[in-house]
Structure 1
């Protein structure tokens, strides 16, 4: 429970959400929630609200993070199956944490039980979300490996410039991987919240999430640039900063969903 009963997902006074207009609504299929275009500066506002969500219940968030990280580590000790299970269950746990964030926004009790709140009647579409994300990630990974192998082979054919070409290919493949993963991340960013709160199917939620993210690309660019800095800072003290950054990330996900889809 937020101790002072304030909503951590309220916008700052200078970051009030604009009212949607005719050009900022996107409804691919009747009955789906409207998305709208927000200012680029909202990328920073989402992180601010994510931080507010963390400080509203820091002890609960740290316990949730420790339990989740422990579960992921244990699952990944099992060859192949563990990685698959961890990825499938990730969307289920994120869906549950979205309900926890909504509880915080409404001044309702927030607890560790929200970590497994997704294991209910919406578990099947959430598991499918995880499966589709896993398949897309594996396909992209295989493509990057293939391109890297081709690049290394071409570099080997150039006797003198081979090493230089190989070194240039490494950052190039990293950029390619980011560009390929960006649409996948766009498709799953809002999807857990859409599945849980709007009873949407996995593919429908991914489609709506992708287009909502696309129309708000400037805000997500601001968010991503700031997030990279936070990742570096969180990783410096023996990764301990992730005990804060992960909860902030979940809070920012909910804040962006609430903002873009104009949810109370």
Structure 2
């Protein structure tokens, strides 16, 4: 593994990689997205633990999208089975991935818990139980303050977890080492990540605006959600697949056989 530093402009190439993957295998890319949302919805149906389980599974699905993009870049299929490939890794790596999932869920819930200092737990209840916050929390700005606290706490968390799944599953690192290594790599390439995030934010915002304008032009009385949803699904596919571009750019490729499923392409 080689830890690289790249110019900020490379972040824009990561975005382009995601769209290139979508164009090369559109059906498989969209199936990955649909299966991902289906898995999240199914997990959230589990009583009490549904939301924490769906949060924890994010690390596995992130790795699945990375493996899918890696397959597409190599001309191999990227069917939804990539989400389960990590389970065919050596037992030690599987255990480390499951531990990583638990640590991620704890970290995100901790960030939401700290936001309770500002809003008395309104944001946390909204996230976990879909409990709409009281009018007071909206009127006095407490919910906005809670959101800001969550964002500030989550930023270093996201830096630590960005590369953690492939570092654990493909390079065989322990959880603590993977989190530390990921944080350092992202910190060394903040310019590239800033441009990467800014471009995706702009694209998703533009989709929202276009959907609203289209609904207004068609004089739809209902929400523009029906127009926006297909666009968001089309945009989410290259977004999720673009994760792998940063891995390849900053870490290189693991040894053949290190990544689960590489030897069993369909």
TM-score (norm 2): 0.74
Contact 1:75 1:86 in 2 (8 A): yes
Q: Which runs of 5+ in 1 are unaligned?
A: 1-32, 151-162
CA–CA separation in structure 2 for the residues paired with 1:173 and 1:230:
26
CA–CA separation in structure 2 for the residues paired with 1:69 and 1:169:
31
More helix by share: 2
Greater RCO, 1 or 2 (C-alpha within 8 Å, sep 6+): 2
CA–CA separation in structure 2 for the residues paired with 1:233 and 1:78:
34
Over 3 Å counting, the alpha-carbon distance change for 1:103 and 1:136 in structure 2 is: same
CA–CA separation in structure 2 for the residues paired with 1:166 and 1:107:
53
Counterpart of 1:73 (choices 31, 35, 41) is 41
Equivalent residue, structure 1, for 2:95: 124
Contact 1:40 1:222 in 2 (8 A): yes
CA positional deviation for 1:166: 6.1
Equivalent residue, structure 1, for 2:264: none
Over 3 Å counting, the alpha-carbon distance change for 1:233 and 1:210 in structure 2 is: same
Equivalent residue, structure 2, for 1:243: 233
Figure out how many residues of one structure are paired with residues of the other and give that number.
220
Q: Which runs of 5+ in 2 are unaligned?
A: 122-135, 212-226, 255-266
Contact 1:137 1:181 in 2 (8 A): yes
CA–CA separation in structure 2 for the residues paired with 1:216 and 1:67:
32
Q: Any idea what the Cα deviations from partners look like across 1:5-61, whole Å, max 9, x if unmatched?
A: xxxxxxxxxxxxxxxxxxxxxxxxxxxx33221111111110001111111111011
Contact 1:46 1:256 in 2 (8 A): yes
CA positional deviation for 1:169: 4.7
Equivalent residue, structure 2, for 1:58: 26
Match status 1:209 vs 2:179: no
TM-score (norm 1): 0.75
CA positional deviation for 1:233: 3.7
Higher mean Cα deviation, 254-263 or 168-177? 168-177
Q: CA RMSD in A?
A: 2.4
CA positional deviation for 1:111: 2.1
Equivalent residue, structure 2, for 1:140: 111
Equivalent residue, structure 2, for 1:93: 61
CA–CA separation in structure 1 for the residues paired with 2:32 and 2:244:
16
CA–CA separation in structure 1 for the residues paired with 2:231 and 2:162:
22
CA–CA separation in structure 2 for the residues paired with 1:110 and 1:74:
22
Over 3 Å counting, the alpha-carbon distance change for 1:78 and 1:262 in structure 2 is: closer
Q: Any idea what the Cα deviations from partners look like across 1:215-257, whole Å, max 9, x if unmatched?
A: 1111111111112122224454332223223321232110001
Over 3 Å counting, the alpha-carbon distance change for 1:63 and 1:80 in structure 2 is: same
CA–CA separation in structure 2 for the residues paired with 1:109 and 1:227:
26
CA–CA separation in structure 2 for the residues paired with 1:221 and 1:240:
27
SS of structure 1 residue aligned to 2:86? coil
SS of structure 2 residue aligned to 1:210? helix
Match status 1:259 vs 2:258: no
